[in-house]
Amino acid sequence: MKDRKPKNIFVQGAIPPSFIADSIQKHSTQTTIGGHSIFLGQVRADMINDKKVASIDYTTYEEMALEKMQEIREGIFEKYDLTCMHVYHSLGNVAAGEISLFVFASAAHRKAAIQACEETVEKIKAELPVWGKELFEDETYQWKENKQSQ
């Protein structure tokens, strides 16, 4: 288990809603599932010092991030009675209004799915080596900072 190659979670650019629909559709054959909990992170057009965020450019330390994500997954599967869990994170440019994070937990009963999804989102925000550079409409930028559990 520990030595298996970590799954890739990264996708180039925004995560399209049709991709999310396909993921949901694929679970219709898994008829032991009773509940899915999904979290989607969407890029906000925040106003910072009178300048509007137009997009976020995401970068990562990929080898380390995939190992860390594998470790997070294993912890979650030990703690919750899940049927399956899928995580996707954008790299590169994601425009305001588009989806950059997709966490999808499924279980026989809703509590496990909901709690596993929430905990995974918190761990991704806190532990995954990913950085977002907020690009303003005037082509200047600032580096994004995650606040604790907001």
Partner 1 sequence: MQVKIIIFGQLTDITGTSVSLDNVTDTDNLVKTMNKLYPGLADKKYLVAVDKKIIAENSLLKENSTVALLPPFSGG
Half-sphere exposure of 142 (CA within 13 A, CB side): 11
For residue 17, state whether it binds partner 1 (rule: CB under 8 A): no
d(CA 16, CA 32): 27
For residue 138, state whether it binds its own copies (rule: CB under 8 A): no
For residue 97, state whether it binds its own copies (rule: CB under 8 A): yes
Q: What is the largest CA-CA distance in the chain?
A: 51
User: Which amino acid would we find at residue 143?
Assistant: W
Residue 5's Cβ-count burial label (10 Å; 0-12, 13-18, 19+) is exposed
For residue 11, state whether it binds its own copies (rule: CB under 8 A): no
For residue 104, state whether it binds partner 1 (rule: CB under 8 A): no
For residue 58, state whether it binds partner 1 (rule: CB under 8 A): yes
Q: Which of 63, 74, 81, 137 binds partner 1 (CB under 8 A)?
A: 63
Q: Select from partner 1, its own copies, none the partner in contact with residue 31, using the beta carbon and a kind-dependent cut-off of 5 to 8 Å.
A: its own copies
For residue 142, how far is the Cα from the chain centroid?
21
The residue among 80, 82, 59, 85 whose CA lies nearest residue 70 is 85
Residues that bind partner 1 (rule: CB under 8 A) add up to a total of 26
d(CA 109, CA 115): 11
- The pair of three-digit structure tokens given for residue 143, joined into one six-digit string: 């580096």
Q: Which of 14, 53, 117, 124 binds partner 1 (CB under 8 A)?
A: 124
For residue 87, state whether it binds its own copies (rule: CB under 8 A): no
Nearer to partner 1, 51 or 125 (CB): 125
Please choose, out of 12-20, 25-33, 53-61, 73-81, the segment that lies near partner 1 by the rule CB under 8 A: 53-61
Q: How far is the CB of 112 from its own copies (least distance, A)?
A: 9
